[in-house]
Amino acid sequence: MALLEIRGLTVEFRTTLGPLRAVDGLDLDVEKGEIVGIVGESGSGKSVAMLAVMGLLPRTTTITAERLAFDGADLLSLSTRRRRALTGKAMAMIFQEPMTSLNPCFTVGFQIVEGLRQHEGGSRRALRARAVELLEKVGIPAPEERLGAFPHQLSGGMSQRVMIAMAIACNPQLLIADEPTTALDVTIQAQILDLLVELQRERGMALVLITHDMGVVAETAHRVSVQYAGQQVELREVKALFADPRHPYTAALLEALPERSSGRLLPTIKGVVPGLRDRPPGCLFEPRCRLATAHCRAVPPPLAPAGDALARCHYPLFEGLPQNHPGTAERAS
Amino acid sequence: MFRFLLARLGILVPTFVGVTFVAFVLIRLVPGDPIEMLAGERGIGAERHAELMAQYGFDRPLWYQYGSFLVNVLQGDLGQSLVTRRPVLAEFLALFPATVELSLLAMLFAVLVGLPAGVLAAVRRGTFLDHAVMGASLTGYSMPIFWWALLLIILFSGMLQWTPVSGRIDLLYFFEPVTGFMLIDSLLADEPGAFASALRHLVLPAVVLGTIPMAVIARQTRSAMLEVLGEDYVRTARAKGLAPRRVVGLHALRNALIPVVTVIGLQVGLLFSGAILTETIFAWPGVGKWLIDSIARRDYPSVQGGIVLIAGVVMLVNLLVDLLYGLVNPRIRHAR
Ligand SMILES: Nc1ncnc2c1ncn2[C@@H]1O[C@H](COP(=O)(O)OP(=O)(O)OP(=O)(O)O)[C@@H](O)[C@H]1O
Ligand SMILES: [Mg+2]
């Protein structure tokens, strides 16, 4: 049994334009102690899916799933009280904007201690000592002094370290990091990623790393889920994915990596992610896919096994060649 | 912090000059003069009238009168009431505790009701509760004070006979004022029933006076909370698994208080103008009623002095609120 089991997770927001399906039938297992990367363009539902797991979406949101379970416990049927007992303790999350994620009115120490007190309790002094230890752990110099600092006195990198300290305070089994480095300077980005991977290894916790940076995934993740427009298009071991992508979208993402591009200009994927109103009836990637056929336009492909991968494509790629594609014969000749 | 205070004081000077000038001119624009008013029905001969006017210096040119008034004020001398012949400052100080007591209770009512109502409306946004709170607050805000007071008097004093209509305490109780606050004095006096009587006298005026600030605070709290509830740090608080009560009541409210405190501060100025009406309606012996009476008697020194003192108090309170603002907002506290 996986630590986190997600089957057919669908999230819909009520908007003035009608329901907006931000996540559409997501399947994902996260095993104990593994790093899973979730990649995809902006708006592909990466954050929303994980917020749904954490139970942090607005109450008006419709969340459905065949199964959404953490450590065997069904999250959707759990009472809010029992669910809260998991949140911040067994599963924790850090966010994209560290500067706005800390409460400006409370000191760093207060905000770290608060979660500890909620889930584990202890004397003031013991909690304080734990907070100092945690700050030390995440590489903050002079941790004793930092306890009394307010968030506006910290840099972005420092804030993210504090967020990490807060998240790992109760030794979670699962840490979800939602683009933890996007808002930071390049030099700091690497430090924060190293810190996360180090903590993950040391504590044996599972780490879900959301990013739109394929490079980050290559360096850290064990497995990768590629998301497109709320759907999962490929699920794979990281090495295999980089060596031989199955889905044309994954292939395009990899081509967009600077170190892989041959020309002087970075190749980009033409077009944009379909919005609420312009969802194609068939494959969602079809309007931007150079291999799309009439079949792709009419029939939405299921997420199906393709060799060692799961891919949502009628003509999954093997060694760069689409299988059973009507056009391959012509192209080959 | 010191420079902040200095800048504040810099604003106070022109405000002070403006207030004294307006106070001085306005009362003289009202037809009639103090001598006429003192003479009353009997009337007074033109000669004697001129003589008395000269005696009080009211025959001098206006600019001269204003100048000497300013000079006296700066020396701490507000003059004497023409009617009672007691120093204006002493009159004011004797009545001021009654106004403070009324205003404090009104503000307490406004904050204790307005703040939770605003928070609830924000948390239950779009529900019946939200609409009810916002509807009530709009009504409270637009209700003329005297009309609202009359409605409450008819209901609670007239029909239900729960509260008295005027004064601070039943006449059968008498004790020396110690603090000037009737609620405290009645407790100190150790007379059975005195405190209850004082409280019953205070409730209606405080509710009437507190209604507009309450409505404003409720609306401001709601909009501040709505903004704050969407912030990332509220999500962080929920991600810790904290109880909703703590997330809303501590993490969100603490931030929402920053704009709300400013609004509460602004209400204090309005509170005093409201107190003038409220005190008159409920025959509440405070500085508001005294000011109205002084205007009716064309008691120039009392009116001028009273307005200067009230303005001074309002400015002082606003200064305190600014300091309080620094206290609730760490980003200001730590800026130099
Ligand atoms: N509270 C909300 N109400 C309505 N729509 C929302 C809400 N939150 C997110 N969405 C929409 O859901 C879709 C998916 O958003 P999501 O934040 O998951 O994207 P993402 O993959 O994390 O993108 P990014 O890389 O920019 O973080 C977007 O179209 C977004 O506008
Ligand atoms: Mg996101």
A261 band by pLDDT with thresholds 50, 70 and 90 = low
pLDDT at A133: 93
A237 band by pLDDT with thresholds 50, 70 and 90 = very high
Mean pLDDT over the full length of chain B: 86
pLDDT at A178: 94
Range among A272-286, A317-331, B77-91, B225-239 rated most confident: B225-239
CA distance A55 to chain B (A): 8
Mean pLDDT of A306-315: 90
pLDDT at A333: 40
More confident residue, B283 or B331: B283
Question: Is the beta carbon of A77 within 6 A of some atom in ligand 1?
Answer: no
Q: What pLDDT digit, counting tens, does each position of B132-157 carry?
A: 999 999 998 888 888 888 898 888 88
Rg (CA), chain B: 24
Selected residue of A56, A57, A101 to mutate for chain B interface (largest B Cβ count, 10 A)? A101
- Contact with chain A for residue B239, Cβ under 8 A: yes
CA dist A14 and A12 (Å) reads 7
CB contact under 8 A, A103 and B233: yes
- Distance from CA of residue A155 to its chain's centroid? 24
Per-residue three-class SS string for chain A = CCCEEEEEEEEEEEECCEEEEEEEEEEEEECCCCEEEEECCCCCCHHHHHHHHHCCCCCCCEEECCEEEECCEECCCCCHHHHHHHECCCEEEECCCHHHHCCCCCCHHHHHHHHHHHHCCCCHHHHHHHHHHHHHHCCCCCHHHHCCCCHHHCCHHHHHHHHHHHHHCCCCCEEEEECCCCCCCHHHHHHHHHHHHHHHHHHCCEEEEEECCHHHHHHHCCEEEEEECCEEEEEEEHHHHHHCCCCHHHHHHHHCCHHHCCCCCCCCCCCCCCCCCCCCCCCCCHHHCCCCCHHHHHCCCCCEEECCEEECCCCCEECCEECCCHHHHHHHC
Is residue A264 pLDDT above 60, yes or no? no
CB contact under 8 A, B235 and A115: no
Considering every ligand atom shown, identify the ligand nearest to the alpha carbon of residue A42 and give its number.
1
Ordered DSSP codes for B83-100: TT-SBHHHHHHHHHHHHH
Residue nearest (by alpha carbon) to ligand 1 atom 6: A13
CB distance A132 to A122 below 8 Å: no
- Contact with chain B for residue A171, Cβ under 8 A: no
Mean pLDDT of B33-38: 78
CB distance B143 to B131 below 8 Å: no
CA dist B50 and A76 (Å) reads 91
CB distance B295 to B33 below 8 Å: no
What percentage of chain A has pLDDT greater than the value 90? 61
Q: Return the half-sphere exposure (C-beta side, CA atoms, 13 A cut-off) of residue A178.
A: 24
Q: What pLDDT digit, counting tens, does each position of B255-268 carry?
A: 999 889 888 888 88
Give the mutation target among A9, A13, A209, A279 for probing the ligand 1 site: most ligand atoms within 8 A of CB. A13
Pick the closest to residue B219 from B276, B167, B267 (CA basis): B267
Q: What pLDDT digit, counting tens, does each position of B203-225 carry?
A: 999 999 999 999 999 999 999 99
CATH of domain B89-333: 1.10.3720.10
B336 band by pLDDT with thresholds 50, 70 and 90 = very low
CB contacts, 8 Å: B238 with chain A: 56, 87
- Say how many residues make up chain B: 336
CB contact under 8 A, B233 and A104: yes
Is residue A160 pLDDT above 90, yes or no? yes
- Say how many residues make up chain A: 333
Ligand 1: nearest atom to the Cα of A58 = 1
Is residue B2 pLDDT above 80, yes or no? no
Question: Is the beta carbon of A48 within 6 A of some atom in ligand 1?
Answer: yes
* Straight-line distance from the first to the last Cα atom of chain B, in angstroms, rounded to the nearest whole number: 7
Q: For A262-276, B27-41, B215-229, which range has the lowest pLDDT when averaged over its residues?
A: A262-276
Residue B70, phi then psi, degrees to nearest 5: -60, -45
Is residue A265 pLDDT above 60, yes or no? no
Is residue A147 pLDDT above 80, yes or no? yes
How many C-beta atoms lie closer than 10 Å to residue B254's C-beta? 16
Q: Which ipTM score applies to this complex? A: 0.88
Is residue B22 pLDDT above 50, yes or no? yes
pLDDT at A57: 93
CB contacts, 8 Å: B254 with chain A: 103, 105-106
* Straight-line distance from the first to the last Cα atom of chain A, in angstroms, rounded to the nearest whole number: 48
Q: Which of B232, B328, B329 sits opposite A100 (nearest CB)?
A: B232
More confident residue, B301 or A259: B301
Is residue B333 pLDDT above 70, yes or no? no
Considering every ligand atom shown, identify the ligand nearest to the alpha carbon of residue A41 and give its number.
1
Chain A's closest residue to B258, CA to CA, is A105
pLDDT at B35: 79
Give the mutation target among A12, A26, A46 for probing the ligand 1 site: most ligand atoms within 8 A of CB. A46
CA dist A273 and A230 (Å) reads 10
- Contact with chain B for residue A180, Cβ under 8 A: no
Mean pLDDT of B78-85: 85
pLDDT at A332: 42
pLDDT at A239: 92
- Contact with chain A for residue B232, Cβ under 8 A: yes
Mean pLDDT over the full length of chain A: 88
List B87's β-bridge partners, or say none.
B80
Question: Is the beta carbon of A40 within 6 A of some atom in ligand 1?
Answer: yes
pLDDT at A268: 63
Ordered DSSP codes for B202-267: HHHHHHHHHHHHHHHHHHHHHHHHHHHHTSHHHHHHHHTT--HHHIIIIIIHHHHHHHHHHHHHHH
Q: Is B305 helix (H, G, I), strand (E, B) or coil?
A: helix
Chain A's closest residue to B256, CA to CA, is A105
- Contact with chain A for residue B328, Cβ under 8 A: yes
Question: Token match 């009116």: residue?
Answer: B303
pLDDT at A18: 82
CB contacts, 8 Å: B331 with chain A: 104, 150, 152
- Contact with chain B for residue A104, Cβ under 8 A: yes
Question: Is the beta carbon of A26 within 6 A of some atom in ligand 1?
Answer: no
Mean pLDDT of A206-214: 91
Is residue A131 pLDDT above 50, yes or no? yes
pLDDT at A100: 94
- Contact with chain B for residue A163, Cβ under 8 A: yes
- The DSSP bridge pattern shows strands A206-211 and A35-39 to be parallel
Q: What are the structural domain ranges in chain B?
A: 16-74, 89-333
Is residue B17 pLDDT above 70, yes or no? yes
How many C-beta atoms lie closer than 10 Å to residue B62's C-beta? 11
CB distance A214 to A130 below 8 Å: no
- Contact with chain A for residue B331, Cβ under 8 A: yes
Ordered DSSP codes for B156-209: IIIIS--S-SSSSS-TT-----SSS-HHHHHHHHT-TTHHHHHHHHHHHHHHHH
CB contact under 8 A, A87 and B241: yes
CB contact under 8 A, B243 and A84: yes
Q: Is B80 helix (H, G, I), strand (E, B) or coil?
A: strand
- Distance from CA of residue A242 to its chain's centroid? 18
